Structure 1
Amino acid sequence: MFFLICGHVVGQTSVTNRSLTDFQKDSGPLWVKSELVKSGVFNTPDFKFTDGFDEHKQFSNIKGLFFKGLPFKGKGTKVFCWYGIPENLSKGDKRPAVVLVHGGGGTVFPEWVKEWTDSGYIAISVALEGQIPGHRVENNQGEKLWPTFEYSGPRRIGFFEDVVTEKLQDQWFYHAVADVVMAVSLLKSFPEVDTTKIGVTGISWGGILTNVITGVDNRFAFAIPVYGCGFLQETPHYSDMLGKLTNEQQAFYLTNWEPSLFVPLQKQPTLFVNGTNDFHFTMNSFTKTFEASPNEKYLYVEHNMKHGHQAGWAPKTIYAFADYITKQGDAPIMPRFKALSKKNELRYTYKGKVKKAFLYYTTDTADWGRDNYIWGQATAKFSDANKTISASLPEDAVAYFINTVDSEGMMYCSPMRFVAKDSGIQLHKKKNDRPD
């Protein structure tokens, strides 16, 4: 078996004395899930609230806790979380909840928990690299790292650099997935949590994890991956990083951890969030991830959205989408393509009330690099009476999407579509690339 990564052949599946048959038998999303099930992550973990870090929590409705994590290299671990409840929660009340999955360089930000508790949700933020609250300290390599403690599990080493060199159960990504699944199991044991309405949202690496975790664990009411997506081998940044791994490591990632393997296994409604020119998660791979989802799904794509934790939790559409799922809030708008005329006039239909509509288009998708292509913006016409959106597509456009703002100021958009071939490169064609 060979894999093609951005034009380069990535060796055979195994370069050790393991046979190809053995590798295929003990691999893939179902194997990963079976190992997690055997580890007990779907059982309620032992936990204990702690006031040892109260100086860092910032808000009175948030408190710290530790739960028992999976063993790491034979050593017991504990996982720190900030746990927050809405300030107006009365005894006996039940509220929807959300698990917060931080990204690279991130931690259990109490401000993120507060964003959700202010929106009426119980929230738990999970430390995924053995962190405890405190200030970052620079190590001998010049890295600024969050403090850890004697019961810390593994931390992330680059882009899956520990696969193959460590067994599955000692890999960072395995522990990160397990920690979030155990956090859900813990939430389901709390009497104040509406166990039918637990969601998950992750930012950057947390978005990558969210796409994988929801393919392993079908208990979520909703998911909101921000930036992070699948098909990472087709992005300029991650294809370069993947190419630095050994052939066997590359094959292990593509067979066991690539998020696109897990997205088709998901059950929950999902809001996919990204920026048009995100350096890490480019629109080609992001759109393919959206297409791979078999569920109720929506899109939020912000023009030149910044990349970061605060930028990633800021969009109000995120909280409106969660309300739609858990509180019967307003339904998101999903513009649906109808036609592109010979005169390059686009037409979409929609449900709901549109306040503004925009066409975004690009004339060059040669390598998807952040600085190598731009998205133009043009105002689109819409008719709330006829529920149609129309726009004139420039003759040289090769990809485009429609962005809408509803009557409450919430933004949703259509999937990106391609016009034709670009400079001899076969552009991705959607399975559902036809008028609805």
Structure 2
Amino acid sequence: MRYLNYLFLLQYKPTIKRQVLGFLVLFLTLCSNAEGQTNTLNKSSINLQETNGPRWVKGELVKAGVLNTPDFSFTDDFGAYQQFSNIKGLFFNGLDYNGKQTKVFCWYGVPNGLKTGEKRPAVVLVHGGGGTAFPGWIKEWTDRGYIAIAVALEGQVPGEKVEHSNGEKLWPGHEFSGPRRIGFFEDVVTKKLEDQWFYHAVADVMLATSLLKSFPEVDVESIGISGISWGGILTNVITGIDDRYAFAIPVYGCGFLHETPHYSSLLTHLNKEQRQFYLQNWEPSLYIPLQEHPTLFVNGTNDFHFTMNSFTKTYETSKNEKHLYVEHNMKHGHSPGWEPEEIYAFADYVVKKGTQPLIPRFKRLRKNNELVYGYNGKVTKVYLYYTTDTADWGRDNYTWEQTTMHFSDSKKIISGKLPENSQAYFVNIIDSEGLMYSSPMRMVKKNSH
């Protein structure tokens, strides 16, 4: 029963359990006659009496018109920054900000050689903090046969970064810009929902999706979404309330941010009302159990912002088809975030009937510390990663050690010795095409295997 996914919310602190229980009761009532039905994103599915949580946010966005095709126009104003002939700029109308109409800049690209009447799969690209709409990111997708749209989420337009009086370097903006991000949700409560940056960012991505669906060259059943860092956070939230995506690939960004060293510290800068608003309305872990599409979760072992404890918990909370790519010491950034070939292979698997990703499945950890996994497909290499210290997930000297494991393609078994004093571990397997996929991290239970 899909609504039972909400039970995971009860892990939150007692200060918000009362609200969560109230929400659960209301949701059970609404869904009591809907068992087995497919969730659709339409106005009739929204209970507008709710005043917090994903259904309330979804209702406000639907009322604002994010499912409608926005007015748009292509632009040649930024020809100096048009790096590729198959990628061009456009503006579409965003939601009102402070009572005034906004416009959102995007780069839009199609594969070279696209024929009239031909349809291709597409992807919406969601940048992270300090980023913008990157033509190079679009080209990675168009070179592989996808249509792609990259959305500038803080009112940016192409150009060089400009240093402001406070020393911060920002991308240039324009007169119809929406809000910029203010720290870690520092504008919640201080501004109405419809004027908060995160609300506009979610809306802009959903509007870009609505725009894609209106283009005749787009296969509307094969639209995916991929976001990097803050874009990964947004991807996890958006796909919990918008079921129009065929696949999702959040990179770095995850849920349970209040359990990471970095973001839990930033949350202390908010007052009690702001923290509660975030936990009840924007925390990605509220949205992840609502997702219905195949997802590839991508991260590095030592990411400062999105640590392995919260990242793994995000993966485990997901109820849909899911796969993992965890790179040892992966750098944090936009370019490193779109480089892994596994990202594009995963999209091909979903919308082009490509090869299914390898799935290492934990079988047992014996008393002699022998670790056993099963797998599917053809394997060429297997690596075990383990750490002997999980006291502080964000500590600078936190390390993962690598060792090889044995595997049998005839028996589809992986085996190896887990070193003594290991506290957490996971496995990476590499297939015959050199693609790498990961098992979820597991914690070692003391005196129990």
Identity %: 70
Aligned to 2:192: 167
> Aligned partners of 2:73, 2:295: CA distance in 1, in Å?
32
> Aligned partners of 1:88, 1:297: CA distance in 2, in Å?
33
Aligned to 1:425: none
> Aligned partners of 1:238, 1:391: CA distance in 2, in Å?
36
What amino acid does structure 2 have at the position aligned with 1:303?
H
How far did residue 372 of structure 1 move?
3.5
Q: Deviations over 1:108-167 (max 9, x none)?
A: 010000000001100000000000111100001100000001100000000000000000
How do 1:23-422 residues align onto structure 2 when only pairs under 5 Å count?
A: 25-420=50-445
How far did residue 65 of structure 1 move?
0.4
Q: Deviations over 1:299-327 (max 9, x none)?
A: 00000000000000000000000000011
Conserved in 2, the CA contact under 8 Å of 1:10 and 1:247? no
> Aligned partners of 2:132, 2:362: CA distance in 1, in Å?
40
Partner SS, residue 188 of structure 1: helix
What amino acid does structure 2 have at the position aligned with 1:358?
Y
Q: 1:120 to 1:48 in 2, by over 3 A?
A: same
How far did residue 373 of structure 1 move?
1.7
> Aligned partners of 1:9, 1:145: CA distance in 2, in Å?
40
Q: 1:48 to 1:13 in 2, by over 3 A?
A: farther
What amino acid does structure 2 have at the position aligned with 1:231?
F
Q: Deviations over 1:373-414 (max 9, x none)?
A: 210100011111111111110120011001011111111010
Could you tell me the TM-score, scaled by structure 1's length? 0.92
Partner SS, residue 344 of structure 2: helix
Q: CA RMSD in A?
A: 2.0
Q: Deviations over 1:154-185 (max 9, x none)?
A: 00000000000000000000000000001110
Conserved in 2, the CA contact under 8 Å of 1:277 and 1:303? yes
What runs of 5+ residues in structure 1 fail to find an aligned partner? 15-20, 423-433
> Aligned partners of 2:446, 2:392: CA distance in 1, in Å?
14
Higher-helix-fraction structure: 2
Q: Deviations over 1:204-240 (max 9, x none)?
A: 0000000000001001000000000000000000000
How many residues align? The count is 411
Aligned to 2:42: none
> Aligned partners of 1:178, 1:369: CA distance in 2, in Å?
32
Conserved in 2, the CA contact under 8 Å of 1:95 and 1:122? yes
What runs of 5+ residues in structure 2 fail to find an aligned partner? 1-8, 20-25, 27-48
Conserved in 2, the CA contact under 8 Å of 1:399 and 1:416? yes
Q: 1:47 to 1:351 in 2, by over 3 A?
A: same
Q: 1:10 to 1:311 in 2, by over 3 A?
A: farther
What amino acid does structure 1 have at the position aligned with 2:376?
K
> Aligned partners of 2:209, 2:419: CA distance in 1, in Å?
47
